[in-house]
Structure 1
C-alpha cells in the first residue's frame, strides 16, 4: 500500500474518532448549557463572560501560534519540541501574572467590583494551558486521535460535575469559575500523562526561526480574529450590564456549539494531513474539497434549522426566562452559517504555511467586523448580533478568494460547495419554519419535532431533484471511503 493511502486511512480513522469524540463532548457541552441555564441566573454567566472576553486575548498571546507551528512542520526535532515547550510554558506563566495584576483594571472598566476576584482565578488557566500546549501538539502531530478525544471528553465532563455541584450549593458565578479551572487542570494533566515524552532543557543550536515566524504571523491573524469575535460581548457587557451580557453569551455559545464541536476535530484531522499532502497537489485538493463538503453538510443544516426555529429551541434548551434573546440568536445563527463556510480558507492558510497571507487578510477584514459590531451596538443586543452577521457574510467570499490567490488553488469548487450547502439547507429550514407556523403545536418540543421532520423531508426532495447535492450528501455518508480514495 502506498504511503499516501496509509495517510488516507489514518485520516479516515482519525476523522471518525475525532467526530465521535466530539459528539460525546457536544453532549456534555449541550448538557452544560441546558442544566446550568436553569441553575444560575443570566448575570452569573454575564460576569464570567465579561472577564473571559478580555482575558481570552491573553490566551491567544499565550499560544503564540506555536502549537499550530509544531503540528504543520514537515519535520520537528526533539530539540525544537523542547524549545517550543519552554517558550509556551514561559508565556503561560508570564500572562498569568499579567492578567492577575490587571484584575482591578478589568473590574474598573466594567464598573463591576466582583469581576476582580473572578479575573484572578481565571488567570491561573494561562499557566496550565501553557504547560500542556506542546504535549497536545505532539499528540496531534502523531495522529493519536483517540488519546486526544478521551482527554477532551474527560475535562468538560468533570468540569460540568463541579459546576453543577457548586451551583446547587448556591455558588452562583463561582460555579462557572470552578468549571473553567477544573477543565484546565484535567485536560492539561491528561495531555502530560499521555504525551509520551519529557521536556529537556532548552537547546541553543536548534533552528527555530521558521517555527517562530509561522507562529508570529498566525498570532497576528488570530489576535485580530479574537478581537473581532469578542468585541460584541465586551460592548454588551459594558453598555447593557451583566444580565444582557449573560443572555448574549448563552445564545452565542448555543450558536457556536455545532461549529466548534465539528470544526475543531475537523481541524485536528485536516491540518496534519493537509500539511503532509501539500507537495502532492491533486491529493491535497481532493482532501480539501471532500473535507469541506463533509463539514458544511454537518454544520449548516443544524445552524439553519436552529435559526429558523429559534423560539421553541430557546424555550426548550434554556427555558422561558431566556426568550428575550430569540431575535439575537436568529441573527447569530446566520453569522454562524457564513463563518462555517469560511473555515476552509484557514485550512489552506495553515496547511500551506501561508500565515503571512492570513495575517494580511485579517488586517483588512477584522477591523471591518469590529466597526460593524460597534455600529450595531447602538441598537442594543440584537443590533450587535446583526452587525456580526452582516460582517461574517461579507467575509466569506473574500476569505476564499484571498486563500486561493495566496496558495494558487482554484477556489471555484470550494465556493460552489459552500453556496450549494447554504442554499439547500436554508431553503429546507425555511420550509420547516413555515410548517411550524401553520401547525403550531401546544408545546415547543412538538414544534421542534415537526420542524426536524419537515426539514428532513424537504432535504430529501431537494436531493432527488439536485444531483450535485445528492452527491454531496453521499459523500457525508461515505466519509471513510472518500478519505481513502485516490484523486483521479
Structure 2
C-alpha cells in the first residue's frame, strides 16, 4: 500500500472512529443521565458485581480471534467459519458452567438476587459469540463507516429499551435487558454489513494455526479485565452495593471519556501497523505520529473531565451521586494515559508478540492486586491513588518493549507526549483556581470548558502545532466534501 493511500485510509479511519465513538458517548451521556435519575446506586451495584464474570467469559469465547485474523496475511472463508463455530461452542460451554456457578457467585457477595440476574445477564456473551467472525471481517478490512452504523444503532435501540424498563420499575433488570438488547442488535447488524454467512462445516484446522497467538491474547484480556474490575470485586466483597454503585458510576464516566479516544485509535492502529510491519522505519514514523495525535486528544479531554467532575455528576445524575465525583477525578488521571498505553500494546500485537502483551498484563495485574490489597486498610482514596500511579508508571515498561521492536528512543517518546501533557495540566490547574469564585454549577462548568478548550486551541495555533493544523485541515476538507 502506498504512503498516500495508507495516510488517506488512516485519516478516514480516525475520522469515522472519532465520529462513531463521539456519537456513542453522546448517546451514553443521554441514556446515562436518564438512568442515573431513575435508578439508585444499589441498582448499578447489582449489575456491577457481575461485570467481571461477564467480561472474563466474553474474553474466553472471543479467544483473541479478531486480532489473530487481522494479523494473518491471507484469510479465506474457512478461517472465519472455523472461528464462528469454535466461538459458539466455547460460549455455550462457558454459559452452562456459569449457570451452574450462579449460586456460588451470589454466595460470594451474599446477595441471593444475583442468581437469576446472573443467569439472565450471561446470555449476552452467547449471543455476542455469533458476531465474532463477521466483526473480524469488518475490522480487518477497515470498514469503519459500517462499524459506526452498527455501534450507534445498537446503542440507540438498547438504550431506549433500558430507559423504558427502568421507568416502569424493572430497576437493575432493565439494565441487564439493555445489555442483552445491545449485543443482539449488534450481532444482527454485523452479519448484515459484512455479508458473511457461516457454512455447516466443522474444520478447526485454522483454529490450531491461530491458537498459539490468540491464546496469549485470551490470557492477557482476562488479566486486563481483572485489573479493570478489581475495585468492583473488592468493594462488592467488603462494602455495600451502594459503594460499588458509586464506583461504577464514576468508572462509567471515565470509561466514556477514554473509550472515545481509544476506540478511535483501535479502529485503525493494528491494521495499519500490520500493513507496514516489514518496514520498521515507516512503522516508527507512523507510530510517532499516532502517538502525538493520541496525546493531543487524550490529555486535554481526560484532565478536563477530571476538572468538571463535580459539576458533571451533580448536573447530570443528581446530588445523590456526589460521592462518585472525587472517584472520577482520580480515575480520569489514569484515563488520560489509557489510549496511549493502548497504542503501545497495539504496536506489540502487530509485531506478532502476543506473549509480550500477555506477560505485561499478568505482571501488571499481580502488582495491582498486591498493592491495592496492601492499601485496603487505608481506605478507597489511597487504593485509587496507588492504582493510578502504578498504571501510569507501567507506560515505561511498554516503552521498553516498543523500543526493542522499532528503535523508539525515550527522548522521542517524551518529546511527543510532554508538550500536550504539560500544557493540559497547566491549563486545568490554572482554570481550577481561576473559576473557584463561581458558585453556580452551570456557569462554573461552562467557564471551565471554554477556558481550557479555548486556550488549548489558541496556544497550539500560535505555536504552529503540526498535529493541530493537520486535524483542522482534514475536518475542513471533510466539511467541504
Q: Shorter-chain TM-score: which interval?
A: over 0.9
Q: CA deviation at 1:410?
A: 4.0
* Equivalent residue, structure 2, for 1:486: none
Determine if contact 2:66/2:136 at 8 Å carries over to the other structure. Answer: yes
Q: CA deviation at 1:11?
A: 2.3
Q: Structure 1 length as normaliser, TM-score? A: 0.92
* Equivalent residue, structure 2, for 1:474: 469
Q: CA deviation at 1:375?
A: 2.9
* Equivalent residue, structure 2, for 1:187: 186
How far apart in 2 are the matches of 1:210 and 1:301? 43
* Equivalent residue, structure 2, for 1:63: 62
Determine if contact 1:354/1:407 at 8 Å carries over to the other structure. Answer: no
Q: CA deviation at 1:191?
A: 0.8
Determine if contact 1:309/1:433 at 8 Å carries over to the other structure. Answer: no
Deviations 1:255-313 (A, max 9, x none): 11121122123212121121111112333222222222222222221211121232222
Q: CA deviation at 1:33?
A: 1.7
- Secondary structure in 1 matching 2:435: helix
Moved more, 407-416 or 82-91: 407-416
How far apart in 2 are the matches of 1:165 and 1:141? 36
1:235-274 equivalences under 5 Å are 235-274=234-273
Mark the CA change 1:411 to 1:77 in structure 2 (over 3 Å): closer, same or farther.
farther
* Equivalent residue, structure 2, for 1:485: none
Determine if contact 1:296/1:341 at 8 Å carries over to the other structure. Answer: yes
* Equivalent residue, structure 2, for 1:165: 164
1:453 and 2:450 equivalent?
A: yes
Mark the CA change 1:366 to 1:196 in structure 2 (over 3 Å): closer, same or farther.
same
Mark the CA change 1:23 to 1:107 in structure 2 (over 3 Å): closer, same or farther.
same
How far apart in 1 are the matches of 2:413 and 2:86? 37
1:193-232 equivalences under 5 Å are 193-202=192-201, 204=203, 206-232=205-231
Deviations 1:2-60 (A, max 9, x none): 64432332222222122112211111111122111111011000000001123311111
1:378 and 2:377 equivalent?
A: yes
* Equivalent residue, structure 2, for 1:126: 125
Question: Please, which runs of 5 or more residues in structure 2 have no aligned partner?
Answer: none
* Equivalent residue, structure 2, for 1:324: 323
Deviations 1:407-465 (A, max 9, x none): 5444543343223322111111111111111x313x21110111112213442564367
* Equivalent residue, structure 2, for 1:340: 339
1:463 and 2:460 equivalent?
A: yes
How far apart in 2 are the matches of 1:440 and 1:318? 21
1:372-451 equivalences under 5 Å are 372-410=371-409, 412-437=411-436, 439-441=437-439, 443-451=440-448
How far apart in 2 are the matches of 1:410 and 1:478? 29
How far apart in 2 are the matches of 1:353 and 1:334? 30
* Equivalent residue, structure 1, for 2:11: 12
How far apart in 1 are the matches of 2:462 and 2:143? 41
How far apart in 2 are the matches of 1:284 and 1:406? 10
Mark the CA change 1:244 to 1:99 in structure 2 (over 3 Å): closer, same or farther.
same
